[in-house]
Amino acid sequence: MKPLLAVLGSTATGKSSLAIALAHQFGGEVINCDSTAVYRGFDIGTDKVPLAEQQGIRHHLVDIVDPTAEYTAADYARDAARTIAGIHARGRVPIVVGGTGFYFRALTRGLFPGPGKNAELRQRLETIAARCGVEFLWRMVRRVDPASADRILPRDRKRLVRALEVYFETGKPLTAHFAETVSPLGPDVLVTALGLRVEPTALGERLARRVDGQFAGGLLEEVRGLLAHGLPDTARPFGGLVYRQVIDYIHGVRDLAATRDLIVQENRRYARRQLIWFRKEPTLIWFDGPGESPDVQARVLGWLAEQGRLIDGGPATHG
């Protein structure tokens, strides 16, 4: 079997640090699994690992998409599967790292391609949302697809519309289709998924320090520079966490202190949603503590050794 490691979890849990340590130990290469880090120019707000801090470890699927382009989970699954095959061909170990759970699921379990976009149906659903509120769409989803309602936030208009579109177009709930999906990975790939958890109070402190560091590192200048080069503020990555709050600040919606506090607050909420998502991954092995901790790294390496998944210097052999 060909090994594939994954380091997953909430934001600011030290996933990249652990992934780089594992890459050194096993002759690995890192594959990004963050939906915003794929976009060029969005560096500080996504906490991309600077080249100087990558410690010579090759990183893939970072800065691969123009900010005005659309990049889907299906695109990611295709690109990641191809990248993993290339890493295996070089005799090295691929290590997927990130916090976008939907990308990871698309890679390891596949995606339901679904019916094409129905513009008329979508417009009707958007009209309902405008008249009755987005939460009304969530209640509609709850009636026809309770499992999707459990995982989609009540104000996530885009995903609610898609869930309803699939139901009305196919007569089956979206979650029923998921059972029919197939991973783009080959059957000879053995996935070992590791999850990092940091206690909420400590994580909140880490998030606050990260946000302060982003502002000190030039976050505002990065966004202003992107806008000055003609990138519209409607570009998809500007809708992501951190960037949408900075865009609001530039437009005068709130002052700098309130913007900073809001980003910290939204990061905490996002971290909770990520944890809820990853708790539903049935084979994820959890480790408590930040990824840069020597103790955490030792526990991860010890567990891998006990399981016989990998050995020093490269993949273990399997029958």
Is residue 305 located within the same domain as residue 161?
Answer: no
For the chain, the first-to-last Cα distance in angstroms comes to 7
What's the structural domain count of the chain? Answer: 2
Is residue 174 located within the same domain as residue 189?
Answer: no
Is residue 69 located within the same domain as residue 102?
Answer: yes
Is residue 67 located within the same domain as residue 162?
Answer: no
pLDDT of residue 214: 98
Is residue 167 located within the same domain as residue 189?
Answer: no
CATH of residue 150? 1.10.20.140
The values of phi and psi at residue 9, to 5°, are 140, -175
Q: Which domain holds residue 238?
A: 2-111+181-315
Is residue 17 located within the same domain as residue 63?
Answer: yes
pLDDT of residue 313: 42
Are 101 and 7 in contact, with CB atoms under 8 Å apart? Answer: no
pLDDT of residue 11: 97
Comparing C-alpha atoms, which of 208, 201, 150, 157 is closest to residue 175? 150
pLDDT of residue 182: 85
CATH of residue 260? 3.40.50.300
Burial pattern 285-310, b for ≥16 Cβ within 10 A else e, equals eebebbbebeebbeebbeebeeeebb
Is residue 159 located within the same domain as residue 100?
Answer: no
Is residue 232 located within the same domain as residue 103?
Answer: yes
Residue type, 295: D
Tens digits of per-residue pLDDT, 42-86?
999 999 999 999 999 999 999 999 999 989 888 999 999 999 999
Comparing C-alpha atoms, which of 206, 253, 193, 257 is closest to residue 4? 193
Of the residues 138, 160, 178, the one at which a domain ends = 178
The values of phi and psi at residue 268, to 5°, are -65, -45
What is the C-alpha to C-alpha distance for residues 281 and 278, in angstroms, rounded to an integer? 5
Q: Which two tokens stand for residue 58?
A: 């090759």
Is residue 186 located within the same domain as residue 248?
Answer: yes
pLDDT of residue 180: 74
pLDDT of residue 243: 97
Q: Which two tokens stand for residue 29?
A: 């290469």
Is residue 29 located within the same domain as residue 139?
Answer: no
Q: Which two tokens stand for residue 174?
A: 């979206």
Report residues of the chain scoring pLDDT below 70.
310-319
Is residue 91 located within the same domain as residue 56?
Answer: yes
Is residue 93 located within the same domain as residue 154?
Answer: no
Contacts with 291 (C-beta within 8 Å, 6 or more apart), sequence order: 7, 13, 14, 15, 16, 17, 18, 19, 21, 196, 297
Comparing C-alpha atoms, which of 319, 297, 318, 316 is closest to residue 27? 316
Contacts with 152 (C-beta within 8 Å, 6 or more apart), sequence order: 138, 141, 159, 160, 163
